[in-house]
Structure 1
Amino acid sequence: MSSLARSSSRLPVWLLLSGILLVALNLRPVITAVGPVLPVIGDELGLGSAALGVLAAVPIVAFAVVSPVVHPLARRFGVERTVLVSLVVLALGTLLRSAPGPATNLWIGTALVGATVAVGNVLLPVVVKKDFPLRVPATTAWYVATQSVFAAIASGVAVPLAAVGGWELALGVWAAPVALALAVWVPRLRAARVRTSAPVAAHHSGSTDGPATAGPAATPGGAATGDRTEPVAAGDAPRRRRGSVYRHRLAWLVAAYMGLQSTVFYSLLNWLPSVEQDLGVDPVTAGWHLFAFQAVAIVGNLAVPSLMRVGGDQRLAATVVPGLVLVAMVGVWLAPGLLWVWIVLIGLGTGSAFVVALSLVGLRAADPATASQLSAMSQALGYGLAAAGLVLAGVLRGVTGPGATVLLLVGVVAVVQLLVGLRVGRSRTLHV
C-alpha cells in the first residue's frame, strides 16, 4: 500500500489521502451555498437581478483570471506551500464575505473565494499525480465524489442556516472545514521541506518504489493523460513546445465545450432556486432540490465513462448529456408539476458533462505538454464564458421579471453544447 504514494516522504497514506479529500471538500460549498440564499442577499442589500447575476459571476471570473497563473506560482513556491496559502486566503475570504459592514465586504470576499478555489481546482490533479501515481483515476473519483457530496449538503442546509443566523451564517459557516484542511495539510509542507533539502535520487520511469518528481515538476498534463504518463519536468516543457494551442481549431472546440457545460451548471446552480420560488416552491424545498440535483450528479460522474467508450469515440456521450439538460429545461417550462423528474435529469446531465469536458482535455492532447496548455486554455476561456453567461442570465431576469425565462437561456446553451459535442467528440489528437 505504501508503494502507491511515492512522494509521501514517509507520510502515511491515510494522511496524504485525507489532505486531498479535505482540500476537495472546501472547493465547492463556498460556491454552492450562495444560490439558495441569493434572493435573501438581494432583498437585504438592495441588489437587483442584474447585480445578483454579477455577484454569482465573480467567482467564475476569478477562475478564468487566476487559473493560468497557478502553475507559475506553484513552480516558484512549491505545490504544497501554494495550496497552504490558498487555504488561508480561502478562510479569510469566506469570513470577510459574511462579515458585518459595507456591501464591499461581500464583493471582495467573493472575489477572494473564487481566486483561491481556482488554485485548488488546478493543483489538486497535480497533488494526486504526485501522491498516488498508480491510482490516479480512483483517487480522482474519491475527491470528485467528496466535492459533490459537500456541494450538495451546502445547498441543502443554506436556507435553514439563513433562517437561524441570516445569509451571513449560511455562507460563513464554511470557513470551519477550511481550518481542518489546514491542520492536515501542514505536515505535508514539512515533508516537502525535507524532500527539498535531501539529495535528489534519479527518477526511473516505471519504478513503483522510487521517489516521485518534486512538486513543481508535476503538471496537470501528467495527471490528465492517465497513470502511464510520467510528469514533465518544469524546465523541459517550454523547450518542447513548438507552438500554441490557441492556433488550433480542435483546442477551441475543447475550450468551448468546457465553457458551455460550465455555463449550464453555474447558471442552474445560482438561478434554479429563484426560478423554483417564482413557480411557487418554498425556499427550503428549493434548496433541497439543489441538493438533489448535485447528489444525482455523482451518479453521472461515475456512469459517463462507460458511455464514452460506446461507438469508438466520444460523440455519443458529448451529445447525450446536454440533451438531458435540454429535455429538463423544456420539462420545467411545460410541466413544472414533474419537477423532481427534471431535477434528476439536470443532475445526470451536468454531472456527466463535467467528466466529459475534463476527459476531452486529456483525450485530445497528444502529450503532457500539450495537455498542460490545453487545460489552462480550456479553464481560462471556459470559465470566462460561464461568467458571461451568468451575467447575461441576471440581465435577462431583470428585463423579463420573475419566471422561468432564465431556463430558456440555459436550453439554448445546451443546444449549442450538443452541436459542439458532435465535432469535439470525434477521435482526434492535438500536438503542439
Structure 2
Amino acid sequence: MTTTNEAHLGRQYLLVIGILTLAASLRAPFTLIGPLLDDIQQSLQLSTVQAGALTTIPLLMFAFVSPAAAALSARVGLEKAALISLSTILVGIALRLTGQSASLYFGTAAIGAGIAVGNVILPGFLKRSFPDRIPQMTTVYVLTMTVSAAVASALAIPLAVASGWGWRFSLGIVAVLPVLSLVVWLFQTSSARRAQGSLLPATGPSAIWRNLLAWQVTAYLGLTVLTFYVAVAWLPAILAMSGFSATASGNIHGLMHLSGAAAGLLIMPLISRFSDQRLLAFLCPLIGGFSLAGLIVAPNFAVIWIATFGFVMGAALILSLAFISLRSSDAKQAATLSGLAQCVGYLLAAAGPPFAGFIHDLTNGWTLVLWACVSLTIIQGFVGLFVGSRRQID
C-alpha cells in the first residue's frame, strides 16, 4: 500500500511540474516578440502593418484553434494533447529562426496554434486531477504564465545584444522551456496511459455551445481579456497623451502587469474560502472600471489607477479561468468549455485593440475608448452575478 501511495504521489508531483512547465511554455514564445518587434521590422524590412501582424496572428490562432483543441483532447487524451501542443510550439520556434519573412509568419501561426491547444487543456487537467484544489492550481499556473512572460520580455533585448546574433537568438533560446516541458510530458504520458479511461467526452461540443451557463463563463472571460488587451496595447499611448514621458509610461505599463501577478496572492484564498464567487466576480470588474474612470478625470494619479486596474483585472482573469473548471462537471467538459470560452475570448482580444485605435483616429483622443472600456466592465460585473453562483453545467 505504501509503495502504491508513493507511486501515486510521484505521478502527482510529475503532473504539477508538467502543468507548470507547460504554462511557462504558453506565454514566453508569444510575449517576447513585442520588445524585438522594431529590430525584426528593420532586419526584414517589414511595414508597420506587417510587423503588427506578428502580435495579432497568435491571438487569431488562439480563437480559431481552441474549439478544435477541445475535440483533439477528447480524441487522444489530455497528456497526448500536451505533447502535440509543445511539439507544435517547437516547430514554430524553429521556423521563426530561418530568417525568411514567410517562415516568420508561419512559425508565429504554429506557435499560436500550439499555445491554443495548451490553453484549452489546462483546465481539463485541473478538473480531472485536482478537483478540490482548482483555485490554488489555477492561480499557480496563471502566475507561472505571468512570470515567464515578464522574464522573457525583460531579457529579450539584453540577450539579443549580448549574444551578438540579434533577435534570432532571443527567439530561439526560449525553446528551452517547451523542450524541458516535453521531456516531463513524455514521462507523464507513459504513466497516464495505463490509468486513462474513455477518451470520449461526457458532454458533446454542441451541448456546451447551447448551454446558458457556458456562455456566461465565455462572456466573463471574453470581457476580461477584451478590456485587458486594449489596455495592454494602448496604455502607453494613452499616458503619453496625458503628458507622461515614454519612460514613465513604460514603467506604469509594467506596473499594471506586476499588479496583475500580485492579484493571485489574494484571490486564491478568497476563491477557496467561498463556494459562491458572485461578490468577487461582481466587484473586480467594477473596481477596474472605476480605475479607468479615474484615469480619465484625474490622470495625474495614473500610478494609483493603473496599479488598481491591473490588480483587479488580474484577479478577474484568474476567476475567469477558474470558472472553466469550477462550472464543468468533468475533465472532458472542462476542455470543451475552455475551447468555447477561449475561442470567443481571444476573438474579442484580437479585435479590441484595432477597433480602439480606429475610435481614437475618429475622435483624435482616448476618452471615448476609455469610457467604452468602463461600460464593458459594468456589463462584466453583472455577468459575474450569474457566473459566480455555485452550480455546474448539466
- Same fold per TM (> 0.5)? yes
Q: Report the counterpart of residue 181 of structure 2 in structure 1.
A: 181
* 1:318-342 residue CA offsets vs partner (Å, 9 max, x unmatched): 2221123223323334444433223
Q: CA deviation at 1:90?
A: 0.8
1:237 pairs, out of 202, 206, 230, with: 202
* 1:261-307 residue CA offsets vs partner (Å, 9 max, x unmatched): 11122233333345445656566665554443223223322323555
Q: Report the counterpart of residue 257 of structure 2 in structure 1.
A: 294
- Bigger shift: residues 322-331 or 162-171: 162-171
Compared CA separation, residues 387 and 236, structure 1 to 2 (3 A)? closer
Amino acid at match of 1:110: T
Q: Report the counterpart of residue 269 of structure 1 in structure 2.
A: 232
Contact 1:6-1:133 at 8 Å conserved across structures: no
Q: CA RMSD in A?
A: 3.9
Partners of 2:290 and 2:3 in 1: CA distance: 47
Partners of 1:308 and 1:171 in 2: CA distance: 37
Compared CA separation, residues 81 and 309, structure 1 to 2 (3 A)? closer
What are structure 2's unaligned runs of at least 5 residues?
A: none
SS of the residue 1:117 aligns to: helix
1:141 pairs, out of 139, 142, 152, with: 139
Partners of 1:125 and 1:368 in 2: CA distance: 8
Partners of 2:266 and 2:382 in 1: CA distance: 22
Partners of 1:338 and 1:122 in 2: CA distance: 38
Compared CA separation, residues 424 and 186, structure 1 to 2 (3 A)? closer
Partners of 1:423 and 1:246 in 2: CA distance: 17
Contact 1:257-1:420 at 8 Å conserved across structures: yes
What are structure 1's unaligned runs of at least 5 residues?
A: 197-212, 218-232
> TM-score normalised to the size of structure 1?
0.73
Amino acid at match of 2:107: G
Contact 1:152-1:292 at 8 Å conserved across structures: no
Q: CA deviation at 1:348?
A: 1.0
Amino acid at match of 2:266: A
Partners of 2:66 and 2:174 in 1: CA distance: 23
Contact 1:128-1:139 at 8 Å conserved across structures: yes
Partners of 2:358 and 2:64 in 1: CA distance: 22
SS of the residue 1:45 aligns to: coil
Paired residues for 1:121-140 under 5 Å: 121-128=119-126, 137-140=135-138
SS of the residue 1:100 aligns to: coil
Q: Select the structure that is richer in helix.
A: 2
Compared CA separation, residues 368 and 182, structure 1 to 2 (3 A)? closer
Amino acid at match of 2:82: V
Partners of 1:14 and 1:307 in 2: CA distance: 25
Q: Report the counterpart of residue 322 of structure 2 in structure 1.
A: 359
Partners of 1:382 and 1:137 in 2: CA distance: 20
Partners of 2:278 and 2:171 in 1: CA distance: 39
- Bigger shift: residues 377-386 or 121-130: 121-130
Number of corresponding residues: 389
Q: Report the counterpart of residue 81 of structure 1 in structure 2.
A: 80
Q: Percent identity?
A: 34
SS of the residue 1:148 aligns to: helix
Contact 1:300-1:351 at 8 Å conserved across structures: yes
Q: Report the counterpart of residue 108 of structure 1 in structure 2.
A: 106
> TM-score normalised to the size of structure 2?
0.79
Amino acid at match of 2:139: A
* Aligned: 1:68 with 2:31: no
Compared CA separation, residues 343 and 243, structure 1 to 2 (3 A)? closer
Partners of 1:369 and 1:395 in 2: CA distance: 40
Partners of 1:37 and 1:75 in 2: CA distance: 37
Partners of 2:98 and 2:294 in 1: CA distance: 40
Paired residues for 1:316-355 under 5 Å: 316-355=279-318
SS of the residue 2:48 aligns to: coil
Partners of 2:272 and 2:80 in 1: CA distance: 38
Contact 2:202-2:330 at 8 Å conserved across structures: no
Q: CA deviation at 1:153?
A: 2.3
Partners of 1:395 and 1:243 in 2: CA distance: 35
SS of the residue 2:99 aligns to: coil
